[in-house]
Structure formats: structure tokens, C-alpha cells
Amino acid sequence: MYDDFIRALPKTEAHLHIEGALPLDLLRTLDPVKYALPPMSWAKDFRYESFEAFDEHLLGMVCPWYNSPERYYESAKLVFERLQKEQNVRYVETSFASGIVEFLGVDGPSIAEAIKSAAPVGLEVRVFMGLHHNGYTERSMAFVDDCINWRHLDGVDLHGAETMPLEPWTDRIWKKFNDAGKYTKAHAGEFCGPEFIWEVLERLNVKRIEHGERGSGDPLLLEELKRRDITLDLCPISNLKLRVTSSIEDHSLRDIFDAGVRCTINTDDPICFGNTLFDDYEIMAREGGFKKSELLRIARYGFEAAIVDEARRALWLAELDAIAATLAPGE
């Protein structure tokens, strides 16, 4: 539904795990037989049994690939080229997992540099390191304390099971990034309710919430998100396949959008869900009832929240205004 309109819409992708974006054709070079067919999880009606089952599936596919900065470069280059050419994406925020540094010993600053330098001309890319709730260990503390100094790292993102407690080191690291004028986000409201979103707002002072799906039932929270000018980066197909929502019709993007909270549409981990950014927009149109003007508003939110200079932002917004001017009343 609205296929041509969605394809022509300039878009952002701000919730993308670079490991979870591994192109299937690269995975096939490692094991052409096992991955001759796409994973079962790409089927439209597929649902993961649990977050743990998803995590195991993801790690099994991506860990063999991501064992050097060169592999990050190779994958990111293909991911970014396709986002630019096939999805009309102009701006990307992507995160890599600190576990690759911690457990596989790949050099963190070199990963950030490899991802950043893989961006084609005309595509802006910002790089975040994802740290789990329990990601500060004897093996990782030295690089976690040092990552504020990594030239190509734009910020940090909180990853992992939300049900685990938020440890005190997290407050310190997020404050360091906020104080330095860098960027902070957190996965919250995917599996836990609004109380965890409140916690990351209060304790970590994040600028973006990854997901936030379960925050919609708390009107005070929605007001607070607006007051703080927070952006929610939602991932409808990921939410569906991980059973965060039972259907797209019931997805809380509608409530969040109607409340006037700035929100975006993203893909999360396409190697696990078989989705493209087009698919996520399209399903919100077809099953979520989003009109063209509403999809355009969501794309616009993405550029409003982008970490870029105002001149660049103005050009993107002008492009969207020109598309808005072609819509018939009520479209």
C-alpha cells in the first residue's frame, strides 16, 4: 500500500544494530549450504518463542562474521549502500555491540572508525556503542571508561534484557557522554513497562528511546517525553515477531503518534526479521491505518531529531515539504 509514495519518501534509519543488519549474501559466503535459503524467521507469520530464542538465533548468525574491523567495514558498506539506493535513506544511526570488543577482543575504536568510514557520499552516519545492563566487567571496564575518547564514536546506547537492574556505572558513563555534548540513548519499553522508561529518563538523561512501545499507556510519561523533546525509535515488524505487540493494528505507534510524541519507524535487526525499512512503513500504512501525510510526518520527525547542522537539516525538511505539497487534502 502506498508503495511508490513510501519509496520516494526520504527517510532516516535510527534504530539499527549493525550486527543484526548483516546482509544475507555476506552470511552465505561463510556457509553457502546452511544459508542457501533465507532463515525461517523471515516468514511473515513467524514469531520468536522468546527474546532469548531471538538472541541465540542472532548471535549464531552474526558472531562468525564480525571478528575484525575489516568485516565491520565490509558489512556496513553494503548495508549503507542499500539503505541509500534501495530505501532512500539519508541519515543513519547505528550501534555495535560492546560484547564483540569484550568477548572477541576486536578493537573498539577501530570498529567505530570502520563503520563510520563505510558511509557513502550523501549518507550521514552516526555510530553508537551498545552496552548491556551488565556490560561493565573486569574484561570491559578499561575500554568502557575510555570510549568517551574514541574519535568516531558519537554516543552510547543501552542494550540487553531490560529486566536486569541498571547498575551504577551506567549513570556515570551516560553522564560523561551527556556532559561532553555527545549522544545517549537506551533500549526501554520493549519488554518492560513505562516505569523503566521513566528510570532511563531520570537516571541516564537519554535523548532517544529505542522502542518505547510499552510506554503508551502512561499519559504522564507521554507528556514528559514531549516536554524533554525525546524521540522514540520504534520497530513495528521487530515488535510483531518478538510478540511485543500481538498485531500491527494494536501497535502503540498509533497512540504515541497521536499524542504528538516524536517517533520514527526503523528495522532493528533485519537479518532476524527479513524486513526492509520499506516493509516497516508499508505495514504501518496497510495494517496500522497510517495515511500518507502521517508517514511523511514520521519521516520528518527522523530528520528533525538527526545529529546534523541546521543547513543540512533545512534541505531535507524542504524536500519533505515539497512532497507534502503534492498530497491531496485528507491523504
Residues serving a catalytic function are 190
- DSSP secondary structure, 283-316, as one string: HHHHTT---HHHHHHHHHHHHHTSSS-HHHHHHH
CB of 17 to Zn ion, least distance (A): 6
Q: At its nearest, how many Å lie between Zn ion and the CB of residue 15?
A: 6
Give one DSSP letter per residue of 127-192, joined into a string. Answer: EEEEEETT---TTTHHHHHHGGG-TT--EEEEES-TTS---HHHHHHHHHHHHTT-EEEEEESSSS
Residue 93 or 268 having the CB closest to Zn ion = 268
Looking at beta carbons only, is 133 or 292 nearer to Zn ion?
Answer: 133
Among 102, 268, 282, 294, binds Zn ion (CB under 5 A): 268
- Cα angle, residue 138 at apex, residues 136 and 141 outer, rounded to 5°: 50
Residue 331 CB coordination number (10 Å): 13
The answer to whether residue 233 forms part of the interface with Zn ion (CB under 5 A) is no
Is the C-alpha dihedral spanning 65, 71, 76, 78 positive or negative?
negative
Say whether 99 sits in a helix, a strand or coil. Answer: helix
Contacting range for Zn ion; rule: CB under 5 A; set: 6-14, 74-82, 266-274, 306-314: 266-274
Does 224 interact with Zn ion (rule: CB under 5 A)? no
In the complex, least distance from residue 225 CB atom to Zn ion, rounded to whole angstroms: 18
- Of 41-49, 193-201, 221-229, 264-272, which segment contacts Zn ion by CB under 5 A? 264-272
Choose among 11, 14, 66: nearest CA to 206. Answer: 14
Q: How many residues bind Zn ion (CB under 5 A)?
A: 1
Spatial distance between the Cα atoms of 114 and 126, rounded to a whole number of angstroms: 12
* Residue number with CB closer to Zn ion (58 or 296): 58
With beta carbons less than 8 A apart as the criterion, state whether 65 and 27 touch: yes
Q: Which has the closest alpha carbon to 62: 100, 32, 116, 107?
A: 100
**Does the footprint of Zn ion cover residue 282 (CB under 5 A)?**
no
CB 18 within 8 A of CB 94: yes
Q: How far is the CB of 187 from Zn ion (least distance, A)?
A: 5
Closest CB 100 distance from Zn ion, rounded Å: 16
Q: Quick one: which segment of 53-61, 162-170, 260-268, 304-312 binds Zn ion (CB under 5 A)?
A: 260-268
Tell me the β-bridge partners of 91: 12, 124
* Least distance to Zn ion, CB of residue 85, Å: 24
Q: Residue 5 or 96: which CB sits closer to Zn ion?
A: 96
Which C-beta is closer to Zn ion: that of 199 or that of 319? 199
Q: What angle do CA 280, 292, 92 make, to 5 degrees?
A: 45
Cβ-based nearer residue to Zn ion, 256 or 320: 256
**Can you give the binding site for Zn ion, defined by CB under 5 A?**
268
